[in-house]
């Protein structure tokens, strides 16, 4: 479960970095057939994003056992390194980070997992993606599939992400992201009602542990 969450967070942060609900702040426009224009547009969109919120549908497929799961909820992201995933269906769950601490709250189990956001935990990669990815081509090998779809492959070693495919419209609004992870899984997230640069309080990214909940620290 934790592995899946970290993978989802990692590539959703990337999606947030290149997504917007409007195009008025972009200096680079997409020109069909020009791969370089697509890359420049993605980079410009990333640089323009400081926060994001969106509804999401997450479909996870495990090839090894030929099984999958579907979940829905809403995600909030804020640079540098803050995130909150509120899962609603099929069961309530909260995944929160203030860039220092990483909380995974599972009400049905009456427990919350608490780990550092960096320093050996896989979630540290997530924070790197949001806070440090200032140059897409420096971090990834970029393959432009069409004028509305790209595939990103991490350069160097990566313990989580294997490939990331993003689908977007002419204004670089991400509609779908597909990640293949290093564990043989495939996760697809579709986004709806995306808001770019909403005002999000830092308090949103601090999880307040309810009384009586078991605290697990690996």
Coil, strand, or helix at residue 65?
coil
pLDDT, one tens digit per residue, over 162-201 is: 888 888 777 777 778 888 877 778 888 888 888 888 999 9
Instruction: Of 18, 11, 14, 13, give the one whose Cα is nearest residue 42.
Output: 18
Residue that is written with structure tokens 């090998």 in the block:
141
On whether the CB atoms of residues 165 and 12 are closer than 8 A, the answer is no
On whether the CB atoms of residues 63 and 84 are closer than 8 A, the answer is no
Low-confidence winner among 10-14, 42-46, 203-207 (lowest mean pLDDT): 10-14
Predicted confidence (pLDDT) at residue 130 exceeds the cutoff of 60: no
Predicted confidence (pLDDT) at residue 27 exceeds the cutoff of 70: no
The C-alpha R_g of the chain, in whole angstroms, comes to 17
The whole-number pLDDT of residue 107 equals: 94
pTM of the model: 0.75
Complete domains list, the chain, with CATH: 2-216 (2.50.20.10)
Report DSSP letters for 68-137, one per residue. EEEEEEEEEEETTTEEEEEEEESS-EEEEE-SSEEEEEEGGGTEEEEEESSSSSTHHHHHHHHHH---HH
The whole-number pLDDT of residue 202 equals: 95
The whole-number pLDDT of residue 77 equals: 85
On whether the CB atoms of residues 15 and 36 are closer than 8 A, the answer is no
**CA dihedral of residues 97, 5, 13, 128 (deg, nearest 10):** 70
Task: Report DSSP state, residue 213.
Answer: P
Summarize the confidence of residues 32-40 as an average pLDDT.
69
Is the Cα dihedral 71, 2, 15, 198 positive or negative?
positive
The whole-number pLDDT of residue 216 equals: 94
Q: Residue 166: which H helix or E strand, with range?
A: strand 161-168
Whole-number Å distance between alpha carbons of 27 and 112: 43
């Amino acid at each position: 479960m934790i592995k899946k969450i970290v993978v989802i967070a990692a590539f959703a942060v990337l999606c947030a970095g290149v997504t917007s609900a409007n195009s008025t702040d972009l200096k680079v426009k997409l020109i069909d057939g020009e791969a370089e224009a697509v890359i420049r547009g993605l980079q410009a969109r990333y640089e323009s994003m400081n926060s994001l919120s969106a509804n999401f549908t997450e479909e996870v497929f495990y090839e090894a056992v030929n099984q999958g799961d579907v979940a829905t909820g809403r995600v909030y992201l804020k640079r540098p390194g803050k995130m909150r995933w509120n899962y609603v269906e099929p069961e309530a769950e909260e995944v929160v980070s203030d860039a220092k601490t990483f909380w995974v709250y599972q009400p049905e189990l009456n427990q919350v997992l608490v780990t550092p956001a960096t320093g050996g935990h896989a979630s540290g990669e997530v924070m790197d993606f949001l806070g440090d990815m200032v140059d897409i081509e420096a971090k990834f090998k970029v393959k432009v599939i069409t004028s509305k779809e790209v595939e990103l492959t991490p350069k160097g070693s990566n313990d989580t992400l294997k490939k990331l495919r993003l689908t977007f419209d002419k204004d670089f609004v991400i509609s779908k992201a597909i990640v293949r992870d290093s564990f043989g899984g495939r996760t697809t997230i579709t986004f709806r009602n995306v808001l770019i640069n909403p005002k999000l309080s830092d308090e949103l990214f601090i999880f307040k542990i309810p009384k009586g909940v078991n605290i697990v620290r690996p």
